[in-house]
C-alpha cells in the first residue's frame, strides 16, 4: 500500500466529524498538486436534483452563476458518467476531445475553470446503499493532459481508494450530525425513536406523559424541521441517522440466519450464534 494512502486511512480512522474528513481529503489533493476538490452527494442514484450537500475547496460562486444557463445546469459529462458507472475518469478542458458531444456553453464553463487553475482533473463516482445515495469526488489542478495522466498513473489508486473510504466516513459523520445541523431537540429525537418503533399516537402520548394533541403538534413541528412529509419518512429518518438500528444489521444475542455460499459446494442457510464460530 502506498505510504500516502496508508497515512490517509490511519488519519481517517481517528476522525469524529465530517469537517475533519473533508480536511483530510483536501489535504490529500494538495499533496498531489490537485488542490481544487469538489464533493457532491445526492439522495439517490439517478436524481441529482436531490442534493444532500456540495463541498468545494475553493470559491465556486462563479460556477453556480454559469450554471444558471439551462444547458449548463442539466448537462455534465462526468456527472452523467457517475450516475451510471463506477469507473473514475479524467475531466477538464485538457480532455474535452475525449468527451461525447457537449453544448458549447459547457465547453465555455470548462474554459473558465481552466483559467482559474482547473485545467484537468480526476473524477471518482461514489455509492452509498443505506440509504441509497450517489456522489462524486473530483480532484483538479492546473495541469496539461500529459501531466494529469502521469499523476493518475502514479497516484490514481491512492485517490480512488481514499475517495471511496473518505466518502463512507464522511456520510457516517454527516448522518450523525443531522440532529445538530437541524437543531432537533432531545425530546424530538425521542419522538423519532418511538415513531420508528411503530408506536401509534396514543401509545406515544402515554410513554411521554403528554396528550395525543401534543404528540401531533410535536410531530408536525418535527416534519417541518426535517422536511419529512409523512410518518413513514420520519421512521426511515430515525434509522438513517442512527437513532434506531438498521433492521438488516440489528445487534442480537440470539442466533440469526446467514447464507453461506461456496463456489464448488452449493449454498445453505446456517444459524449463526453471536460470538460463536461456524459450527459444522
* pLDDT tens string 117-175: 999 999 999 987 655 677 889 999 999 999 999 999 999 999 999 999 999 999 888 88
pLDDT average, residue stretch 3-9: 97
Q: Tell me: the pLDDT tens digits for 36-62? A: 999 988 766 555 556 677 899 999 888
pLDDT average, residue stretch 70-93: 74
Residue 277 pLDDT exceeds 50: no
The CATH architecture annotation of domain 3-176 reads: 2-Layer Sandwich (3.30)
From the candidate CATH numbers 3.40.50.300, 3.20.20.370, 3.30.2290.10, 1.10.10.10, the one assigned to the domain spanning 184-247: 1.10.10.10
CA atoms within 13 A on the CB side of 221: 13
Whole-number Å distance between alpha carbons of 133 and 52: 9
Q: Tell me: the pLDDT tens digits for 182-237? A: 788 888 888 888 988 889 999 999 999 999 999 998 888 888 888 888 888 888 87
Q: Is 160 helix (H, G, I), strand (E, B) or coil?
A: helix
Whole-number Å distance between alpha carbons of 137 and 119: 16
Q: In a 10 Å sphere around its CB, with 0-12 CB exposed, 13-18 middle and 19+ buried, how is residue 144 labelled?
A: exposed
Q: Which residue has the higher pLDDT, 181 or 221?
A: 221
Q: Tell me: the pLDDT tens digits for 13-39? A: 999 999 999 999 999 999 999 999 999
- The residues spanned by each domain of the chain are 3-176, 184-247
Provide the whole-model pTM: 0.74
Q: Transcribe 186-220 into DSSP letters.
A: HHHHHHHHHHHTT--HHHHHHHHTS-HHHHHHHHH
Polymer length of the chain: 280
Residue 253 pLDDT exceeds 60: no
Q: Which residue has the higher pLDDT, 104 or 70?
A: 104
pLDDT average, residue stretch 101-115: 86
Distance of CA 10 to the CA centre of its chain: 20
Residue 279 pLDDT exceeds 50: no
Whole-number Å distance between alpha carbons of 130 and 236: 11
For the record, the C-alpha cell of 177 comes out as 450530525
Given pLDDT bands bounded at 50, 70 and 90, which one contains residue 4?
very high
Amino acid at each position: 500500500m502506498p505510504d500516502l494512502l496508508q497515512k490517509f486511512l490511519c488519519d481517517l480512522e481517528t476522525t469524529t466529524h465530517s469537517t475533519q474528513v473533508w480536511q483530510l481529503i483536501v489535504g490529500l489533493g494538495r499533496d498531489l498538486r490537485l488542490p481544487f476538490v469538489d464533493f457532491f452527494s445526492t439522495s439517490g442514484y439517478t436524481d441529482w436534483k436531490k442534493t444532500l450537500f456540495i463541498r468545494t475547496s475553493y470559491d465556486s460562486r462563479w460556477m453556480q452563476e454559469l450554471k444558471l444557463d439551462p444547458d449548463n445546469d442539466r448537462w455534465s459529462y462526468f456527472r452523467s458518467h457517475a450516475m451510471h458507472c463506477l469507473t473514475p475518469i479524467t475531466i477538464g478542458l485538457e480532455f474535452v476531445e475525449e468527451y461525447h458531444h457537449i453544448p458549447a456553453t459547457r465547453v465555455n464553463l470548462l474554459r473558465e475553470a481552466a483559467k482559474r487553475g482547473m485545467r484537468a482533473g480526476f473524477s471518482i463516482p461514489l455509492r452509498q446503499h443505506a440509504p441509497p445515495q450517489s456522489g462524486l469526488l473530483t480532484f483538479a489542478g492546473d495541469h496539461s493532459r500529459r501531466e494529469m495522466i502521469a499523476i493518475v498513473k502514479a497516484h490514481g489508486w491512492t485517490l480512488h481508494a481514499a475517495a471511496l473510504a473518505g466518502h463512507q466516513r464522511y456520510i457516517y459523520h454527516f448522518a450523525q450530525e443531522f440532529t445538530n445541523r437541524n437543531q432537533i431537540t432531545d425530546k424530538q429525537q425521542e419522538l423519532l425513536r418511538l415513531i420508528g418503533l411503530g408506536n401509534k399516537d396514543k401509545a406515544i402520548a402515554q410513554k411521554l406523559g403528554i396528550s395525543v394533541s401534543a404528540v401531533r403538534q410535536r410531530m408536525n413541528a418535527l416534519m417541518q424541521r426535517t422536511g419529512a412529509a409523512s410518518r413513514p419518512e420520519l421512521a426511515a429518518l430515525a434509522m438513517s441517522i442512527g437513532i434506531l438500528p438498521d433492521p438488516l444489521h440489528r445487534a442480537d444475542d440470539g442466533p440469526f440466519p446467514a447464507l453461506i455460499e461456496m463456489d464448488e459446494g452449493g449454498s445453505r442457510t446456517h444459524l449463526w450464534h453471536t460470538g460463536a464460530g461456524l459450527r459444522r
